[in-house]
Amino acid sequence: MKILKFPENFCWGTSISSHQTEGNNKNNWSEWEKSEKRIKELKKQGKNPDNFISGLACNHYHLYEQDFDLAKELNNNALRFSIEWSRIEPRRGIFNQKEINHYKEVLLALRQRNIEPFVTIWHFTTPIWFEKLKGWNNKKAPEYFSFYVKKIAEEFGSLVNFWITINEPLIYAFLSYHQGIWPPQEKNLIKTIKVIRNLIKAHKLAYKIIKRTSFDSKKHPAAIGIAKNNVYFEAYKNKPINIMLKNLSDYFWNKYFLNKIKNHLDFIGLNYYAHNRIKFSWEKPNEWWDKNENKNISDIGWEIYPKGIYYVLLQLKKYNKPIYITENGIADRKDEKRSKFIVNHLKWIHEAIKDGADVRGYFYWSLMDNFEWALGFYPRFGLYEVDYRTQKRTPRPSSKIYAKICKENFVTH
Ligand code: BGC
């Protein structure tokens, strides 16, 4: 048996986000979850709308100390969470000091446990006033966002060494503005492009603001990155048409955004979940996307494809930046596949490190079960199971495996 050792000071962590765990948020998502349109849509599909309303979620807002103890049990030395913009700035230009203090407590609770916080500034949800002003589709959106960023950089700067500006910009733009699945449920390519461009601007502005603020406070400047969802695209049988479509998808999905922001980036956060085999056919010329074999899938039908992370990491090498895997995880209610999933991905990450990718950390998604956006509470991504009626957390067997890896800093092969 071979021991695959990870670099010294490797960050071993888990990831969560505000809307998915905190409970009682009042933002564009909470409004949408309860909207007549959404409820009708779910009932039509024969689903119980209650399972799709975030409500109290994991009550992490009040149970964060207990949850950070669970991260400690996993031997995590890092944790990624997000700040909820709608709590900090519930009305345009008006900040809520009580909520600012809350997140200070959250950051201190991590520091007390020797857990390095990786703080996401924006993870999909926006204040209601922002959404009313056309959300990310408004050309002033980056400016509105930077007002919030400046405030949190000033308030939390001394407690944060790692900032993640935006979570998965393309996933958001496509699901919200192109496929009409997430609020505001638009299907408009022009708006999608506008949103992407505004997110690029917002990232760059945030980068400059945080740099300036951390220099002003004479502190060791914070590292600023993004959490980018990249996919391993593969051309079926290497046929020329598949290769062409693959290159196109690869450029747009994996490279375009990063190329635009690469001069405003201290590290890359990679969220890896997917392999996408491109297979064109003349019978169904529009259906060439996502033609995977799907031999091994998660509870929500996502193909498990650990080797893909190796290719995605090698592709990121050219940016010459440190890389943190800011998300990688599986919906697996019975916990039958999770341990193997983690170990196999780590093997390929190790291989990528051997081949020159500067990977410095791994964050499993997620610490505990949580609200999985449009899929509601059904998918179970957690190392800890959550009973949503009692808010009890129970470790799944895979949590022991992950805790051992985090402690030993190696996996065996
Ligand atoms: C998101 C998370 C989400 C996870 C699993 C990522 O797209 O950042 O919020 O829960 O994937 O779907």
List, for residues 300-326, the tens digit of each pLDDT value. Answer: 999 999 999 999 999 999 999 999 999
Nearest-CA neighbor of 271 among 377, 172, 156, 178?
172
Q: Apex CA 65: angle with CA 64 and CA 66, to 5°?
A: 90
125-139 confidence digits (pLDDT tens): 999 999 999 999 999
Q: Across the strands, what pairs with 268?
A: 226, 323
20 Cα to the center of ligand 1, angstroms: 9
Q: Is 369 in the pocket of ligand 1 (CB under 6 A)?
A: no
Alpha carbons 187 and 285: distance in angstroms, whole number: 21
Closest ligand 1 atom, CA of 381?
Answer: 5
Quick one: tokens of 112? 């007390």
184 Cα to the center of ligand 1, angstroms: 18
For 302, other C-beta atoms within 10 Å of its C-beta total: 17
Nearest-CA neighbor of 218 among 157, 148, 151, 146?
157
Q: Across the strands, what pairs with 11?
A: 361
Q: Is 214 in the pocket of ligand 1 (CB under 6 A)?
A: no
Residue 221 has what pLDDT? 81
Residue 413 has what pLDDT? 83
15 Cα to the center of ligand 1, angstroms: 10
Alpha carbons 243 and 241: distance in angstroms, whole number: 5
DSSP designation for 303: B
214 Cα to the center of ligand 1, angstroms: 29
Quick one: tokens of 253? 């999905």
147 Cα to the center of ligand 1, angstroms: 26
Residue whose token pair is 């914070």: 222
Residue 217 has what pLDDT? 67
Contacts of 304 (CB under 8 A, 6+ apart): 296, 297, 298, 330, 337, 341
Kindly list the distances between the CA atom of residue 299 and the CA atoms of 187, 246, 330, in Å, as whole numbers in the listed order. 27, 27, 8
Q: Is 372 in the pocket of ligand 1 (CB under 6 A)?
A: yes
Kindly list the distances between the CA atom of residue 120 and the CA atoms of 6, 48, 207, 230, 352, in Å, as whole numbers in the listed order. 25, 31, 13, 18, 25
Model pTM above 0.85: yes
Alpha carbons 301 and 344: distance in angstroms, whole number: 18
C-beta of residue 209 within 8 angstroms of C-beta of residue 149: yes
For 320, other C-beta atoms within 10 Å of its C-beta total: 8
The CATH code for residues 3-229+322-412 is 3.20.20.80
Residue 109 has what pLDDT? 98
Residue 147 has what pLDDT? 98
For 243, other C-beta atoms within 10 Å of its C-beta total: 15
Residue 1 has what pLDDT? 87
C-beta of residue 192 within 8 angstroms of C-beta of residue 178: yes
Residue 218 has what pLDDT? 57
Residue 214 has what pLDDT? 77
Q: How much of the chain is in helix, strand and coil states, percent to nearest 5?
A: 45, 20, 35
- List the domain boundaries for the chain: 3-229+322-412
Residue 389 has what pLDDT? 97
Give me the residues of the chain with pLDDT under 50, please. Answer: none
C-beta of residue 229 within 8 angstroms of C-beta of residue 273: yes
Best of 373, 375, 380 to mutate for ligand 1, by most ligand atoms within 8 A of CB? 373
Mean predicted lDDT score pLDDT of the chain = 97
Residue 116 burial by CB count (10 A; 0-12/13-18/19+): exposed, middle or buried? middle
